[in-house]
Structures are given as structure tokens and as C-alpha cells.
């Protein structure tokens, strides 16, 4: 059974960089049938796609966040990572990593999510 | 950018009722539309892909239809475990891009 697990600091100071890692187990991140993605959800609000990456390293970002986002992949560790720079309180959210099925661009497996709070 | 709207934003229905949620895209998206269920404190779960295809393991009381700009998600007989927020999600292939709708919260009356 595929599992995804987010990890990283739960508290980030304003203007600093948020860094999270997603570890994939029970399957290979190098599968040609999937992208891997990050989605966030501010408390009490809806879902926002942040960006996605293919195992080859090709990345696709939400245009509204593109200038601050970097997603990378480490196939040797079966992990992919998110960096979001210059954070503000508006970036406080639950951050999810998920597998994105290539054919329908549907997120079919999700991590449990991790709350990141931006505060001094 | 493609914008997604959902209606209603919330609804309350009785167990056994038929529940319908609509999702509208700001431009033609063919059938590039997926539906998710999110229960409180949990990650979303994929229910429907490509507008009308039921994900493996999802109960048959859930269904989806539509194409172009107008889409419908239906629960044929609402069950207590269906209490959740439901999101539509559109996708573009070239380049890959994803937008979620604002969500519809479903409660039991």
C-alpha cells in the first residue's frame, strides 16, 4: 500500500523559507505514470495546488506562487521536497503531499498533512 | 486562468436524500474534472475522475456527469458517513495545471 508522509518544521518565521519533505513508501517515486504534488489548505478554507514534479525533475507550479516555490525530487531516497520563500502569515496552512495520476491529473494518494504556522 | 465555482456552498439534507452539487468552469474544460471528499481533519479522497468515472472502491451511490463548463456531482442516497466537504478540481494538460473549486459542505439535517 502506497504511503506518503510529510515532514518538516511546524513553525516558520515571517520572511523565512518554509521547507517540507514528502517520503514515499510502498512504491517507487520513479514510476512513469505519476507526478508528485504539493497542495495546501489554510485553516477553515479550501484547497490550493502549489505545484507538481515528475521523477525526471520537470516541475509545474501554480502561477500565483511560482516566484516563491521550488519543488525538487530525490529518487535515491524516494522523496520530494517543497521550498516556499519569503513566507507571511497568509502561508499558514496544512500542507499535503500527494501522488498525481498522469492520465487524469487526479490526486489518488495523499499524505496526512502537516500544519505549518508562520509566526514570529 | 480557469476559475471554478461550486454551488451551493453548503447544504443540509436528510439521510436517504438525493444530494446534487454543481461545479462550473469559466471556460470549456472538456471532461477534465475530478471530485474529492474531505472529512474534518483528514486528507481529501478521490471519488470521481474525468467527470464521470468512479474511482475503484468508491460506493456506487456517488456519481458525476457533465462536460464543457457545467458539471454535476450526485449522492443518490445520503448516508451519515457522507458528511464532508466536496471539492471539484479541473486540470489542464499543456502545461499541467490544477485548480480546485471552493468546496461544498454537506451536513445531515
Q: What is the pLDDT of residue B17?
A: 98
Residue B16: pLDDT above 90?
yes
Q: What is the pLDDT of residue B37?
A: 98
Residues of chain A with pLDDT under 50: none
Share of chain B above pLDDT 90, in %: 93
Backbone angles phi, psi at A89, to 5 degrees: -60, -30
**A37 with B49: Cβ contact below 8 A:** no
**Chain A closest CA to B48's CA: distance in Å?**
9
Question: CA B37, CA A42: separation in Å to the nearest integer?
Answer: 17
Q: What is the pLDDT of residue B1?
A: 82
Dihedral sign for Cα atoms in the order A56, A62, A68, A69: negative
- Residue numbers in B near A51 (CB within 8 A): none
Residue B86: pLDDT above 90?
yes
Give me the residue from A46, A62, A111 closest to B43, CB to CB: A111
Residue B14 has a CB neighbour count (10 Å cut-off) of 9
Cell of B58: 468508491
**Chain B closest CA to A104's CA: distance in Å?**
6
Q: What is the pLDDT of residue B96?
A: 73
Minimum Cα–Cα distance from B96: chain A residue: A60
- Residue numbers in A near B103 (CB within 8 A): 46-47
Minimum Cα–Cα distance from B44: chain A residue: A110
How is residue B41 annotated by DSSP?
A: T
Interface contact B54, partner A, CB < 8 A: no
pLDDT band for position B94 (cuts 50, 70, 90): low
**Chain A closest CA to B31's CA: distance in Å?**
10
Q: What is the pLDDT of residue B66?
A: 98
Q: What is the pLDDT of residue B8?
A: 98
Interface contact B95, partner A, CB < 8 A: yes
Q: Which residue has the cell 464532508?
A: B84
Predicted confidence (pLDDT) per residue in B38-85, tens digit: 999 999 999 999 999 999 999 999 999 999 999 999 999 999 999 999
- Residue numbers in B near A96 (CB within 8 A): 43-44
Interface contact B86, partner A, CB < 8 A: no
Residue A78, CA distances (Å) to A27, B28, B68, B92 in order: 9, 37, 37, 26
pLDDT band for position B97 (cuts 50, 70, 90): confident
Amino acid at each position: 500500500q502506497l504511503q506518503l508522509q510529510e515532514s518538516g518544521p511546524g513553525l516558520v518565521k515571517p520572511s523565512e523559507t518554509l521547507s517540507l519533505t514528502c517520503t514515499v513508501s510502498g512504491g517507487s517515486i520513479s514510476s512513469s505514470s505519476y507526478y508528485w504534488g504539493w497542495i495546501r489548505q489554510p485553516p477553515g478554507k479550501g484547497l490550493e495546488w502549489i505545484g507538481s514534479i515528475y521523477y525526471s525533475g520537470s516541475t509545474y507550479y501554480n502561477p500565483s506562487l511560482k516566484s516563491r516555490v521550488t519543488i525538487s525530487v530525490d529518487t535515491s531516497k524516494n522523496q520530494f521536497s517543497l521550498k516556499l520563500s519569503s513566507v507571511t502569515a497568509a502561508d499558514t496552512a496544512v500542507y499535503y503531499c500527494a501522488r498525481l495520476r498522469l492520465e487524469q491529473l487526479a490526486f489518488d494518494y495523499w499524505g496526512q498533512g502537516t500544519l505549518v504556522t508562520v509566526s514570529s | 486562468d480557469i476559475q471554478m465555482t461550486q454551488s451551493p456552498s453548503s447544504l443540509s439534507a436528510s439521510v436517504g436524500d438525493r444530494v446534487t452539487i454543481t461545479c462550473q468552469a469559466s471556460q470549456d474544460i472538456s471532461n477534465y474534472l475530478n471530485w474529492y471528499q474531505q472529512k474534518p481533519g483528514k486528507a481529501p479522497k478521490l471519488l470521481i475522475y474525468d467527470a464521470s468515472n468512479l474511482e475503484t472502491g468508491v460506493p456506487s451511490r456517488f456519481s458525476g456527469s457533465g462536460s464543457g463548463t457545467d458539471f454535476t456531482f450526485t449522492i443518490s442516497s445520503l448516508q451519515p458517513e457522507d458528511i464532508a466537504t466536496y471539492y471539484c478540481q479541473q486540470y489542464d494538460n499543456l502545461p499541467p495545471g490544477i485548480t480546485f473549486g471552493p468546496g461544498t459542505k454537506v451536513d445531515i439535517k
